[in-house]
Structure 1
Amino acid sequence: MTDQEISTAAPDTSRLTEAELRTYRRALRGETLPDDEPGLAPLLAREVLLANTHQPGTYVPAPSRYLETQLTAAVLRALSGATEALAGIPAHVRELEAEQQRYHHSPSPVGTLLLRTVPEVNAETIRTIQAAEYEILTAQPGHRKPKVLKGALPRDLQAAQRGVTVRTIYRTSGRTNPTQREWVATMTRAGAQVRTLGEDFLRLIIVDRAHAFFEVYGEDGTVQQEAAWYTQDRGVCALLAAHFRQQWDRADPWVPGEGAGAPGTDDDTKTSKLQRTILRGIVAGRSHRQIGENLGLSERTVTAHVSKMREALGLETVPQLTFWWATSPERLLP
């Protein structure tokens, strides 16, 4: 949008300017006015003055009832133009950002923004993903509700179908989620790649290495579930993309149609990747409830996994299990 377009979209006042008022008074006195009389053109445009067809160069005032209608209509037209101008600003800013990035790679002046609510986060992530040009990286450690997965599928699928590289990391426990399995099957058919991790990792969305969304942590280390940081800082985006790559390299490919258990487990090992993640949580001092929250599992499911490990190893207590873990080579497995 040009400066001229923006200026013409700005609403005019409904009151006459000093120049217009002086011209209006001259017309009321019946004076002959030249075509270039200051203020005459806008008065005619808004039909505040009407040309006197019987005496060229003179003008008569519009009736007061008609005058109110005309002034109101002029302001409404201007407001409509201003609304369109405001709506077009974000797209125009992105055009200018693209021009900046075409000639140099300095960080965007937008920096990092705090998105405080779910609607804010959703609106910005949807806009950014829809504009993705070559890559979308996502890491989703929590349980994604069926409604969220189904709502995101058309957008994600469209990106993959237009040739954007889509890579997603889920929890290993997500392999038992029917809706998540359906999402993976549909997306992989479109060319997306999905892997799973049984351990803690950060929630991330990185688009074109130029946009990144990540979790908001409080001073006590708790995550603000409804909020997210959004950054266009190139350095931060590059760092988060490198972190994603590290997690991606450690994760197991999710091939649609395979079993729901942890893949790649050697027959000689006593534990699965999920169980090893649970053991690491126990050693770190977390409760079964906390471990379950991190993995998207119930506390009862975590307890059941611990019991199965004890039974498989012939152990009676959790301290015995943790001692076995501390001395077992399996603690070195992912």
Structure 2
Amino acid sequence: MTDEPGPAERALYLAAVRGGGRLRPEELAPADRPTVAALVARGLLTPTATGYTATNPRALGDRLGVELRTRATRLLLNAERLPHTLGPLTHAYEAVRRPDGPGRFGPQPVQFDTEIDIRHRVFELISECTKEVLVAQPGPRPLEGLETALAQDLSLLRRGCSMRILYQPVTLTDRAIRHQIDLRARYGAQVRVLAEPYEQVLVFDRAVAVVPAAEDRSRAAVISDPAALTFLIGAFERDWARATPADRHLDSPHPTTVRIGRLLARGLTQRAVATRLGLSERTVAAHLARLREVHGVETLFQLGWQMRGEQP
């Protein structure tokens, strides 16, 4: 039985109130019997010699309020005790020499062949992380995956771990995705954007990494070999140094900026773009400066090449 009366119970109780606070057996259908029994169990109806009498719901509210507060207090106490209670189990788990665990040397990568297994291992690694997570995510990001991982990512950030995430510009074209990124940034995650190809990698506490083990990313390998980790972390740091802060990308570009970028990608010069759109060259130059900043490039040639790669 739930804490609150359901729709059928409410309707029958109100019928009793409208009938002067009484229900006679002859007024009840056979289908009403379970509802009557539930109202009696709650104390909202009292059996009498001639039927049932409605009682004041205030008494039920007071009783349920006490029960709920008692239950909440018990849950809070259990939550406080849980880390201590699970402490011996946690220590035993972390003492086991996992071939892919943080701080343990496993020369051979451990491979996971299903998406469920991959997600489960990544979930474990995030839960075990104590200092830092490095994430390089090329290509578009599925919104469902970001929403599912949000609570765990925020929990990691709240407990003082740092998180650096690298995306490509295509990821930020979706408003819902940008909102997810912004939520993590508010809690301290550092997010940058790099308009270059790079490999997917997740690194936890600089002790264990997860990388794709198949071209379609249907399999993953968990690596803890120190030499391999040094290489992966070095590659991430080089990419991070070339990337630009995501806050420069989180605001949607002006439609005119988008049109200018597309024309530039088609090979038009700055003057030709200005003529085509009926704008001054100074205005076009300002839009192009914004695009260069977003894409982290210095020349119009580099910008045109980057924009070319983003054309549908």
Give the structure 2 partner of residue 159 of structure 1. Answer: 156
User: Distance in 2 between the 1:305 and 1:216 partners?
Assistant: 38
Q: Does 2:99 correspond to 1:141?
A: no
Where 1:209 maps in the other structure, the secondary structure is coil
Q: Does 2:171 correspond to 1:174?
A: yes
Shift of 1:110: 6.4
Contact 1:185-1:256 within 8 A present in 2 as well:
no
The letter for the 2-side match of 1:181 is: R
Deviation per residue, 1:218-248 (Å, 9 max, x gap): xxxxx13211111111221221111111111
Q: Which has the larger radius of gyration?
A: 1
Give the structure 2 partner of residue 124 of structure 1. Answer: 121
Q: Does 2:228 correspond to 1:242?
A: no
Shift of 1:94: 2.7
% same residue: 22
Deviation per residue, 1:158-195 (Å, 9 max, x gap): 10111100000111122221222111211111111000
Contact 2:139-2:170 within 8 A present in 1 as well:
no
Shift of 1:216: 2.2
Where in structure 2 are the equivalents of 1:18-33 lying within 5 Å? none
Give the structure 2 partner of residue 95 of structure 1. Answer: 95
User: Distance in 2 between the 1:113 and 1:304 partners?
Assistant: 48
The letter for the 2-side match of 1:224 is: D
Where 1:167 maps in the other structure, the secondary structure is strand
Contact 1:129-1:159 within 8 A present in 2 as well:
yes
User: Distance in 1 between the 2:248 and 2:153 partners?
Assistant: 17
Q: Normalized against structure 1, the TM-score is what?
A: 0.49
Contact 1:113-1:229 within 8 A present in 2 as well:
yes
The 3 A distance-change label for structure 1 pair 198 and 313 is: farther
- 2:251 corresponds, among 250, 259, 273, to 259
The 3 A distance-change label for structure 1 pair 224 and 304 is: farther
Q: Would you tell me which structure has more helix in proportion to its own residues?
A: 2
The 3 A distance-change label for structure 1 pair 329 and 193 is: closer
Q: Does 2:186 correspond to 1:196?
A: no
Where 1:259 maps in the other structure, the secondary structure is coil
The letter for the 1-side match of 2:236 is: F
Q: Does 2:147 correspond to 1:150?
A: yes
The letter for the 2-side match of 1:170 is: Y
Contact 2:264-2:270 within 8 A present in 1 as well:
no
Shift of 1:331: 5.1
Contact 2:192-2:244 within 8 A present in 1 as well:
yes
The 3 A distance-change label for structure 1 pair 91 and 331 is: farther
Question: Which ranges in structure 2 are unaligned for 5 or more consecutive residues?
Answer: 1-87, 274-297, 307-312
Contact 1:181-1:256 within 8 A present in 2 as well:
no
Please report the RMSD computed on the Cα atoms of aligned residues, expressed in angstroms: 3.8
Tell me the matched-pair count. Answer: 189
Contact 2:106-2:223 within 8 A present in 1 as well:
no
Deviation per residue, 1:20-39 (Å, 9 max, x gap): xxxxxxxxxxxxxxxxxxxx
Question: Which ranges in structure 1 are unaligned for 5 or more consecutive residues?
Answer: 1-87, 218-222, 276-302, 316-327
Deviation per residue, 1:27-85 (Å, 9 max, x gap): xxxxxxxxxxxxxxxxxxxxxxxxxxxxxxxxxxxxxxxxxxxxxxxxxxxxxxxxxxx
Where 1:166 maps in the other structure, the secondary structure is strand
